[in-house]
């Protein structure tokens, strides 16, 4: 039984005592935190962007389009090439991913689960894996073209780039679309059938329109990724080059910074247009995921669609499996394409710097994952729970690294931190800072996803019961963010392990990481060594992913809800992952 | 006065959601804020709890001004509509939280939390995780968590709206009994008039941010002060009157007979609802509803001509 009145006095005393210090402390600490975050994002995201714009758009302090024009003229249609590859690769990805997603969610096949596993596995994809396997399968000494068919083809050109990008981006896209399809309210399809629509009309008139927001997100992500990808064209493009490649060559090869910056700007324009279009259309579209998913079995596909999706899915899965097997066996073949005798010579023959690079990759990725996720949680908390001046600005800046092509941000860091006051060229700090801020959206989105689902009244309840603001954060907000932190940690780690697009502009011999080592091996034609490196990167990343997935599932067995992926969450997940920076 | 609201006003982007709300509440009283959604009742409650700062006006508890005091330092406690239980804590930890915030040692807090859980009948679920509790159990847990801090004012934000009809009836009784036993001053927000009439000492009917009427449940039902209150609470018929007036008639105040003095009309529809039969009678002044107790029903049929005798009516100027 409650004792009314017995501790009213002590309660009041307590309240007065605390009120004397907690309120001003709270106000100051929070304002300081908000300004600190705004300032740090300003320095490490906005300033590098501004630096590129300054170098690319100004000559001797005067604004001019001279550099842009010369970049456009010199590059002889590079922008067109980039956009062409971006559009066609995106179309290919969309086609495969829609088929795979429909089949995975609607075929009712027992193979759906292993397929999903394969998609997850292939999302951990070090850069150059697709191009490397392409060379190994279809190159001059390719397993399929040369060994099996006896052809000696020149496989280099835009066809290969589009094909390999299209397939490479599919895993991510398909996982996103599967998330949207699973989150869809199945009763809508049931209602359509109930009103007399055939399965085909239902797919056409209900399912696909509901999938449009997902398709828009997938298109944006794939398009931006394709533009930023310089690895695939540089390896298998042959004489076909794109902006990202040329920006890299200008920067690293001939140190023509103004032209590299101008090309970076050209690269940014289509990405920004895609992003604005996406925002424009998404503003009107909503994810119709209210309701609790399907009541019964998912609707069966019409026969023709089952056959189509099944065929596409099977071909995709077979090709991807072949790709990864090629890389795996390539590490143990004496001379790929000529002599397939098993050997350990590539492992033994790894350059002495390789192990240091691998160890650096792991340490950098761990550091980035921990610091980046914590930073992301703080930004997410400020965005989701605080009203303050500059909030929408913070939101925008924190999303910027996601829509900016990796090379642009890499060039930005190189230019912004060349000279005082922050001269960081060649340091460890510039690489780590770049990785952290580039992956910041990963943690932020994970945190925001959880907080936007969590009921803010829960925090009100804590305040109501006497918790001061710092206690609310400690007792209620952070414990709820734990799964988000883990998701952010794993995804940031994965993205950091395979990142190359931005840091390639910042690496010095003392900060060389495994992906750079891999790039060197691929460019030098050391297929065996490249395969070994790719395998090591994949194994390490996979091990960390599995360990943390196990950890999360074990500790949050009852809270599966937090980790399951309804549509908008899937978008966030993909946005996190897509930042991998190939 | 124990709890006083003085001309509380709050606008959101130019729209006034609470407009000069003034209310005095006695110690130990249970007051219901009743109104349709969007009438400002929840915003009023949140201003009492300290979650919304009023644009103007004051909140006083025992004569001390609480208007600018943050929620954590106010002697109020809220049972939220969503219950807002801490999802990462067990039932007993949820209840103990408020005591822990008062720097009470964990052991002590836990044992008092268990006593409180016993009081609300949840002793066997003390160590259960919040998600495994049923809706009714979560409701009791939220109540226990609020009561343990011994608030001067208990705030209930539509606490029963997530429960099914049977359970709602029972929880309504339990809350009222607990509240009178503890003598705790309570402000209860609801859009369910039956709930408000059944539980409150006084009902405050709100509409578009303003108070329409304050009175006992009987008052607001039998003597509605405004046309809105008449129409919102219970059922009834508005009849056109002489000139610019309009009268309001409760269905139980109407007697219908085959002939005699009164308002003549034709039965257009009949609804059976158990204890009473409701006749809809089309008259020159408008459609009149008449509830006839089942025992004294004469079994009129649709189309019959009848006369209605009106026992009691309220008149409003249009």
**Interface mutation vs chain B, best among A18, A461, A555, most B CBs within 10 Å:** A461
Please tell me the CATH code under which domain A77-338 is placed: 1.10.3720.10
* ipTM of the prediction: 0.76
Chain A residues closer than 8 Å to B111 by CB: none
**A478 is written with which tokens?**
């952070």
Dihedral sign computed on CA atoms, order B159, B161, B163, B168: positive
pLDDT value at position B4?
Answer: 95
Q: Touching check for B239 and chain A: CB below 8 Å? A: no
B236: contact with A, CB 8 A cutoff: no
Q: Is B27 on the interface with A (CB under 8 A)?
A: no
Contact state of B88 with A467 under an 8 Å Cβ cutoff: no
Shortest alpha-carbon distance between residue A30 and chain B (Å): 15
* pLDDT for res A203: 84
User: Which residues on A lie below 8 Å from B72 (Cβ)?
Assistant: 462-469
How many distinct helices (H) and strands (E) make up chain A? Answer: 28, 4
Q: List, in sequence order, the alpha helices (H) in A331-387.
A: 345-348, 352-385
The shortest CB-CB distance from B70 to any of A1, A23, A558 is to A23
Q: Is A463 on the interface with B (CB under 8 A)?
A: yes
How close B60 gets to chain A, by Cα (Å)? 16
Q: Residue B166 to residues A489, B131, B142, B172: CA-CA distances in angstroms?
A: 47, 22, 19, 10
Domain positions in chain A are 77-338, 363-512+567-582
**Chain A (547-576) residues lying within 8 Å, Cβ to Cβ, of chain B:** 558-559
CB proximity under 8 Å: B 106-145 to A? 115-116, 119, 129, 131-132, 145
Spell out the alpha helix ranges (H) of A498-566: 514-523, 527-555, 560-563
Asked if A467 reaches chain B (Cβ–Cβ under 8 Å), the answer is yes
Bridge pairing between strands B263-272 and B305-310: antiparallel
The tens-digit pLDDT sequence of chain A (582 residues) is 333 333 333 333 333 333 333 444 456 777 888 888 889 999 999 999 999 999 888 887 788 887 888 777 766 678 888 999 999 999 999 999 999 999 998 888 888 888 988 988 888 888 788 888 888 888 877 787 777 777 766 778 888 899 999 999 999 899 888 888 887 777 777 777 777 778 888 888 888 888 888 888 889 889 988 988 888 898 888 888 888 888 888 888 777 888 888 888 888 888 888 888 877 776 555 554 444 444 456 677 888 999 999 999 999 999 999 999 999 888 888 877 777 788 888 888 787 888 889 999 999 999 999 999 999 999 999 888 887 777 888 888 888 887 888 888 999 999 999 887 888 888 889 999 999 999 898 888 888 888 888 888 899 999 999 888 888 988 999 888 888 888 889 888 988 998 888 888 888 888 889 999 898 888 888 888 899 999 999 999 988 888 887 777 766 544 433 333 333 344 444 444 433 333
pLDDT of residue A386: 81
Q: What letter would DSSP give residue B109?
A: H
Give just the sign of the alpha carbon dihedral A464, A470, A473, A478. negative
Structure-token pair, residue A277: 């279009």
The angle at the Cα of A183, spanning A182 to A184, to the nearest 5 degrees, equals: 95
CB contact under 8 A, B77 and A480: no
pLDDT at A297: 62
User: Which chain B residue shows the shortest CA-CA distance from A10?
Assistant: B102
Judged by a CB distance cut-off of 8 A, whether residue A476 touches chain B is yes
Q: Which residues of chain B have pLDDT under 70?
A: 242, 318
Q: Which residue of B has its CA nearest to A26?
A: B70
CB-CB contact of B266 with B281 (8 Å): yes
pLDDT score at A14: 39
- Residues 481-540 of chain A with CB under 8 A from chain B are 482
* Residues in chain A within 8 Å Cβ distance of B78: 460-461, 464
In terms of DSSP H, where are the helices of A170-256? 170-183, 186-194, 199-202, 208-228, 231-236, 243-248
- Residue B81 at interface with chain A, using a CB cutoff of 8 Å: yes
CATH of A363-512+567-582, one of 1.10.3370.10, 3.40.33.10, 1.10.3720.10, 3.40.50.300: 1.10.3720.10
Q: Which of residues 295-314 of A touch B (CB under 8 A)?
A: none
Q: What is the pLDDT of residue A139?
A: 80
Model confidence pLDDT, tens digit, residues B51-110 = 899 999 999 999 999 999 888 889 999 999 889 898 888 999 999 999 988 889 999 999
CA–CA dist B217, B190 (Å, integer)? 14
Nearest Cβ partner of B97 from A10, A462, A468? A462
With CA atoms as reference, the chain B residue closest to A483 would be B88
Q: Which residue of A has its CA nearest to B98?
A: A465
| Distance in angstroms (rounded) separating the CA atoms of residues A207 and B32 | 46
Q: Which of A7, A18, A479 sits opposite B88 (nearest CB)?
A: A479
Angle between helices A428-438 and A406-416 (to 10 degrees): 140
Q: Give the pLDDT score at A4.
A: 39
pLDDT score for A567:
34
Residue A239, SS3?
A: coil
Same fold across A77-338 and A363-512+567-582: yes
Please state, in angstroms and as integers, the Cα–Cα distance from residue B30 to each residue in A352, A453, B108, B176, B186, following that order: 79, 33, 31, 8, 5
Buried b (16+ CB within 10 A) or exposed e, A543-562: ebbeebeeebeeeeeebeeb
Whether B184 and B154 have beta carbons less than 8 Å apart is answered as yes
Residue B56's beta-bridge partner residues?
Answer: B9
Residue A465 has its nearest CB partner, among B116, B129, B149, at B149
Compute the distance between CA of residue B270 and CA of residue A57 in angstroms, rounded to an integer.
81
Put simply, the answer to whether A19 touches B73 (Cβ < 8 Å) is yes
Which one of A19, A457, A465 has the shortest CB-CB distance to B77?
Answer: A465
Hey, is B230 helix, strand or coil?
helix
Specify whether the CB–CB gap between B225 and B213 falls below 8 A. yes
Q: What is the pLDDT of residue A15?
A: 38
Asked whether the beta carbons of residue B71 and residue A19 sit closer than 8 angstroms, the reply is no
Domains of chain B: 3-227 (3.40.50.300), 236-317 (2.40.50.140)
Q: For position B179, what pLDDT does the model report?
A: 93
Interface size A-B, in CB pairs within 8 Å, comes to 108
What are the backbone angles phi and psi of residue A63, rounded to the nearest 5°? Answer: -70, 135
Q: Touching check for A8 and chain B: CB below 8 Å?
A: yes
pLDDT of residue A8: 36
Q: What is the pLDDT of residue A74?
A: 67
CB–CB contact B86 A2 (8 Å):
no
pLDDT score for B142: 93
- Residue from A4, A453, A466 whose CB has the most chain B CBs within 10 Å, to mutate: A466
d(CA B275, CA B272): 8
Contact between A11 and B149 using a beta-carbon 8 Å cutoff: yes
pLDDT at A97: 96
Residues of B in contact with A15 (CB under 8 A): 73, 75
Give residue B318's pLDDT.
60
- Contact (CB<8Å) B131/A558: yes
Question: Does A464 contact B76 at a Cβ distance shorter than 8 Å?
Answer: yes
On chain B, the residues whose CB falls within 8 A of the CB of A18 are 73
- Interchain CB contact of A464 with B (< 8 Å): yes
Quick check: A479 contacting B, CB < 8 Å?
yes
């Amino acid at each position: 039984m409650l004792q009314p009145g017995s501790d009213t006095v002590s309660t009041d005393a307590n309240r007065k005592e605390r009120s004397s210090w907690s309120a001003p402390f709270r106000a100051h600490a929070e304002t300081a935190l908000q300004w600190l975050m705004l300032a740090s994002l300003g320095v490490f995201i906005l300033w590098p962007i501004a630096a590129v714009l300054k170098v690319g758009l100004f000559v001797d302090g005067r604004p001019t389009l001279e550099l842009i024009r010369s970049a456009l003229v010199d590059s002889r249609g590079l922008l067109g090439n980039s956009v062409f590859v971006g559009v066609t690769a995106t179309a290919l990805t969309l086609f495969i991913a829609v088929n795979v997603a429909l089949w995975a969610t609607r075929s009712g096949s027992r193979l759906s689960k292993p397929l999903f596993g394969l998609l997850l596995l292939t999302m951990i994809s070090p850069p150059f894996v697709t191009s490397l396997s392409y060379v190994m399968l279809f190159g001059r000494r390719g397993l399929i073209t040369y060994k099996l068919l006896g052809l000696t083809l020149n496989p280099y050109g835009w066809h290969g780039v589009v094909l390999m990008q299209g397939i490479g981006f599919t895993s991510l896209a398909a996982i996103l679309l599967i998330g949207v399809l699973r989150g869809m309210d199945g009763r809508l399809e049931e209602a359509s059938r109930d009103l007399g629509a055939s399965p085909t009309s239902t797919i056409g008139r209900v399912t696909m329109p509901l999938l449009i927001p997902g398709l828009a997100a997938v298109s944006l992500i794939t398009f931006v990724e394709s533009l930023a990808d310089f690895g695939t064209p540089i390896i298998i493009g042959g004489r076909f080059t794109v902006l990202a490649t040329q920006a890299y060559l200008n920067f690293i090869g001939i140190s023509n910074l103004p032209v590299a910056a101008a090309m970076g700007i050209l690269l940014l324009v289509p990405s920004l247009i895609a992003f604005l279009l996406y925002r424009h259309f998404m503003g009107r579209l909503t994810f119709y995921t209210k309701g609790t998913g399907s009541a019964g079995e998912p609707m069966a596909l019409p026969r023709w669609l089952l056959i189509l999706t099944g065929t596409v899915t099977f071909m995709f899965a077979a090709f991807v499996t072949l790709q990864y097997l090629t890389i795996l066996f390539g590490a143990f073949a004496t001379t790929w394409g000529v002599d397939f005798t098993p050997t350990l010579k590539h492992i033994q023959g790894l350059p002495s710097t390789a192990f240091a690079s691998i160890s650096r990759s792991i340490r950098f990725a761990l550091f980035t994952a921990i610091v980046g996720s914590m930073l992301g949680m703080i930004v997410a908390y400020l965005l989701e729970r605080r009203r303050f001046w500059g909030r929408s600005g913070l939101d925008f800046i924190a999303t910027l690294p996601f829509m900016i092509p990796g090379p642009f941000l890499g060039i930005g860091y190189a230019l912004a931190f060349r000279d005082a006051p922050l001269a960081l060229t060649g340091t460890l700090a510039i690489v780590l800072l770049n990785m952290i801020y580039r992956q910041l959206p990963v943690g932020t989105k994970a945190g925001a996803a959880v907080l936007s689902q969590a009921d803010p009244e829960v925090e009100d309840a804590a305040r109501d019961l006497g918790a001061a603001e710092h206690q609310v954060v400690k007792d209620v907000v952070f414990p709820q963010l734990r799964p988000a932190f883990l998701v952010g940690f794993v995804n940031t780690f994965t993205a950091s392990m395979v990142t190359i697009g931005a840091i390639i502009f910042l690496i010095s011999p003392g900060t060389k990481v495994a992906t750079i080592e891999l790039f060197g091996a691929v460019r030098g034609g050391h297929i065996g060594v490249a395969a070994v490196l790719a395998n090591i990167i994949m194994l390490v990343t996979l091990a960390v992913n599995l360990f943390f997935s196990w950890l999360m599932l074990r500790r949050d067995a009852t809270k599966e809800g937090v980790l399951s992926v309804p549509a908008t969450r899937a978008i966030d997940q993909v946005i996190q992952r897509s930042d991998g920076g190939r | 006065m124990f709890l006083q609201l003085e001309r509380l006003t709050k606008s959101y982007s130019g729209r006034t959601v609470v407009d000069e709300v003034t209310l005095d509440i006695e110690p130990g009283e249970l007051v219901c804020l009743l109104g349709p959604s969007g009438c400002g009742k929840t915003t009023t409650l949140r201003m009492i709890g300290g979650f919304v700062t009023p644009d103007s006006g004051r909140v006083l508890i025992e004569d001390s001004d609480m208007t600018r005091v943050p929620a954590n330092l106010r002697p109020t406690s809220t049972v939220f509509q969503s219950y807002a239980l801490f999802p990462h804590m067990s039932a007993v930890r949820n209840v103990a939280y408020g005591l822990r915030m008062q720097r009470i040692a964990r052991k002590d807090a836990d044992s008092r939390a268990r006593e409180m859980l016993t009081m609300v009948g949840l002793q066997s679920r003390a160590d259960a995780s919040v998600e495994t509790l049923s809706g009714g159990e979560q409701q009791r847990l939220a109540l226990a968590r609020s009561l343990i801090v011994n608030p001067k004012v208990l705030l209930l934000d539509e606490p029963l709206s997530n429960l099914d009809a049977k359970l709602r009836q029972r929880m309504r009784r339990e809350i009222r009994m607990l509240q009178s036993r503890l003598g705790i001053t309570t402000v209860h927000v609801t859009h369910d008039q039956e709930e408000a009439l059944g539980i409150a000492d006084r009902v405050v009917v709100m509409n578009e941010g303003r108070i329409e009427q304050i009175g006992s449940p009987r008052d607001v039902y039998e003597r509605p002060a405004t046309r809105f209150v008449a129409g919102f609470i219970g059922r009834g018929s508005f009849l056109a009157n002489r000139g610019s007036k309009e009268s309001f008639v409760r269905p139980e105040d109407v007697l219908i007979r085959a002939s005699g003095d009164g308002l003549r009309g034709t039965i257009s529809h009949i609804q059976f609802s158990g204890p009473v039969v409701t006749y809809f009678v089309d008259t020159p002044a408008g459609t009149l509803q008449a509830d006839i107790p089942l025992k004294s029903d004469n079994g009129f049929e649709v189309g019959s001509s009848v006369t209605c005798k009106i026992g009691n009516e309220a008149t409003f100027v249009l």
